[in-house]
């Protein structure tokens, strides 16, 4: 349960331009959150045996069940 917020690419670019021009910025962030009931989630798992080191495992993960407003 980690609070998180996102910016659109356009707003992040705008803040970067302000910073590059040494313009002062003051940002206020107000957030509200709620805890929802637990739900069943599903994960995709695949295994591919390596040809060089078949006894070693590399795990790659990503959110397949989410959407980020900032993207």
Sign for the CA dihedral angle at 19, 25, 26, 27 comes to negative
pTM score of the predicted model: 0.44
Q: Report how far residue 62's alpha carbon sits from residue 68's, in angstroms, rounded to the nearest whole number.
A: 13
- Would you list the domain boundaries of the chain? 1-34
pLDDT digits (tens, 9 = 90+) for 7-66: 888 999 999 999 999 998 888 988 888 888 998 877 777 888 888 988 888 777 766 666
The answer to whether the beta carbons of residues 71 and 62 sit under 8 Å apart is no
């Amino acid at each position: 349960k980690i609070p998180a917020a996102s910016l659109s690419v356009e707003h992040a670019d705008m803040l970067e331009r302000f910073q590059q021009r040494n313009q002062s910025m003051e940002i206020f962030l107000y957030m509200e959150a709620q805890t929802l009931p637990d739900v069943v989630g599903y994960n995709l798992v695949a295994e591919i045996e390596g040809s060089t080191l078949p006894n070693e495992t590399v795990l790659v993960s990503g959110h397949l069940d989410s959407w980020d407003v900032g993207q």
